[in-house]
């Protein structure tokens, strides 16, 4: 029998249909596959959600197994601070880290940000993603979203100059940020950056493959460049200072909110601008990331807007404004 001080763990894989499809340079998908961790103690239950990412060798089944392997340590009293060394950074630790923080908040009757000594998050503007496609298809999708103040445009390499020009024509007033998802090369890097600058793009995310991005230090960058796949946690920050102007912090990369908050502080100290990003997932995955939005120049937490439906008690979205979570959802 579980004692009143031990923590019981459950986890499950969930599948959430995407509204249409979501396409980036690495391919398209029609559903978001998430893994949810649930921790219970003293009659309270905490929840956390993650998205295993094949780009980093993660699968839903392996993530589920990694979570369930933590039952015994949790039963012996493993807490959120000890978790940071007990599991490697990644999706599984993210789900458990956020679930434990949610549990702490529910047991204490306080909000998560108060427990962490952080400012309460406020409503903020999130980017809205336009999937990769032909210039014509992207122009059509952009026209439907042109009322949104911030658009994130997925690009894919050759032909990106035509794509971003078509997008800009369809959304003349929106601020544009671009995500190439490692699809550019050293040969087309400067040309594509120039085309983005011509279109008034504010920032380009991860143009070159991680580990092959040294060209960014050798050129004059006409606009800000943000690291995504090249940056995961605090350890990876120092080596990026000559190549990038900003970093994209995602909880699935950092292994949870605990490391993400520390990483945001470290990134600011090193002079990086910050983007808070997400995978396509439900509001349960977005909610902890709201605690980082006050430090971010760009917020990209539109995952639930790309789904056919969100979970109950999801975040409130009013156009492109996203509001902090209610306790019934998380924290």
- Pinpoint the alpha helices (H) of 145-254: 160-170, 189-198, 251-254
Rounded Cα distance between 271 and 214, Å, is: 19
Q: Are 96 and 37 in contact (CB under 8 A)?
A: yes
Angstrom distances, CA of residue 288 to CA of 21, 156, 227, 259, 315: 25, 30, 21, 12, 11
Q: Tokens in use for 261?
A: 């908050």
Angstrom distances, CA of residue 311 to CA of 22, 266, 305: 19, 33, 12
Rounded Cα distance between 204 and 176, Å, is: 9
SS3 of 22-66: EEECCEEEEEEEEEEEEEEECCEEEEEEECCCHHHCCCHHHHHHH
Number of residues assigned to the chain: 331
Angstrom distances, CA of residue 316 to CA of 123, 241, 259, 312, 320: 9, 36, 26, 11, 10
DSSP 250: -
Nearest residue to 183 via CA among 221, 219, 153, 151: 153
Which positions are catalytic? 154, 250
CA 113 distance to own-chain centroid = 19
Q: Are 224 and 203 in contact (CB under 8 A)?
A: yes
DSSP 121: P
């Amino acid at each position: 029998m579980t004692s009143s001080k031990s923590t019981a763990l459950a986890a499950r894989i969930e599948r959430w249909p995407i509204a249409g499809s979501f396409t980036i340079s690495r391919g398209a998908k029609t559903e978001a596959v998430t893994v949810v961790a649930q921790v219970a103690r003293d009659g309270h239950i905490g929840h956390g959600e993650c998205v295993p990412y094949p780009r980093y060798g993660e699968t839903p089944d392996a993530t589920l197994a990694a979570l369930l392997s933590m039952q015994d340590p949790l039963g012996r009293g493993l807490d959120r601070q000890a978790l940071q060394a007990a599991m490697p950074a990644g999706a599984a630790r993210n789900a458990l880290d956020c679930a434990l923080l949610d549990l702490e908040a529910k047991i204490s009757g306080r909000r998560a940000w108060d427990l962490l000594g952080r400012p309460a998050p406020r409503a903020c503007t999130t980017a809205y993603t336009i999937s990769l496609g032909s210039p014509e298809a992207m122009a059509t999708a952009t026209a439907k979203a042109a009322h949104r103040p911030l658009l994130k445009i997925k690009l894919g390499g050759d032909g990106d100059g035509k794509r971003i020009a078509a997008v800009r024509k369809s959304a003349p007033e929106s601020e544009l940020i671009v995500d190439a998802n490692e699809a550019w090369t050293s040969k087309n890097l400067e040309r594509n950056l120039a085309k983005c600058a011509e279109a008034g793009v504010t920032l380009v995310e991860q143009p070159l493959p991680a580990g092959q991005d040294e060209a960014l230090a050798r050129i004059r960058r006409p606009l800000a460049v943000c690291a995504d796949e090249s940056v995961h946690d605090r350890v990876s920050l120092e080596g990026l200072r000559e190549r990038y102007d900003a970093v994209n912090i995602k909880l699935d990369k950092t292994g949870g909110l605990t490391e993400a908050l520390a990483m945001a502080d470290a990134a600011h100290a090193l002079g990086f601008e910050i983007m808070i990003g997400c995978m396509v997932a439900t509001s349960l995955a977005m909610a902890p990331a709201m605690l980082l939005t006050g430090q971010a120049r760009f917020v990209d937490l539109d995952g639930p807007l790309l789904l056919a439906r969100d979970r109950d008690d999801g975040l409130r979205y009013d156009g492109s404004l996203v509001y902090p979570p209610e306790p019934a959802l998380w924290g």
